[in-house]
Structure 1
Amino acid sequence: MSQIHNEQTKLLATGLNNVAVAFVVIGGVTPVTALSFGVANAPKLSVGTIAFAAIWISTAAGLHWIARRILRSLLP
């Protein structure tokens, strides 16, 4: 039973970490890429853009932290 618990725990942590990676892409990579390519509808570098990126990246860091905490419950 402990192997099943461990695998389910790892799957949950992996899923949360994948969502965290998606948040980094949405909030960090996408605005920077849009700015660097000069996309017409891209937001200009402003306090709002920086706050947008900071919120998404902070949320990603929180999700990653939760995933790490979940992994601490692995059984020996």
Structure 2
Amino acid sequence: MTLIHNERIKLLATYFNGIGIAVFAVGGFAPAISSIYSPNGPTPALMFISFVCILASFALHYAASNILRRLEP
């Protein structure tokens, strides 16, 4: 039963980590890079939203690592 439990924990942690990567790519990285190449340049609101998404990405990654602490030997 521990093997099934551990695999479910790893699957949940992978899910959270994947969401964190997606939030970073879509909300943090892509808008910041695209605004650099736009004629208007980056706006303060866009930079704030990108910063919030990057922080959310790190929080989701941290949550995934905390979930892995529930693995049983």
Q: State the TM bucket, normalised to the shorter chain.
A: 0.7 to 0.9
Once the two structures are superposed, what CA deviation does each residue of 1:21-75 show, in whole Å capped at 9, x if it has no partner? 000001222113323443x7xx731221210101111111111111100000000
User: Residue 72 of structure 1 corresponds to which residue in structure 2?
Assistant: 69
Structure 1 position 4, deviation (Å): 0.3
Contact 2:36 2:42 (C-alpha < 8 Å) held by counterparts? no
Structure 2 unaligned spans of 5+: none
Q: Among residues 47, 58, 62, which one is paired with 2:59 in the alignment?
A: 62
User: Residue 17 of structure 1 corresponds to which residue in structure 2?
Assistant: 17
Query: How far apart are the structure 2 equivalents of 1:23 and 1:10?
Result: 20
**1:35 corresponds to 2:35:** yes
4+ residue runs over 2 A deviation: 35-38
TM-score by structure 2 length?
A: 0.87
What is the RMSD computed on CA atoms of the aligned residues? 1.7
Aligned residues: 73
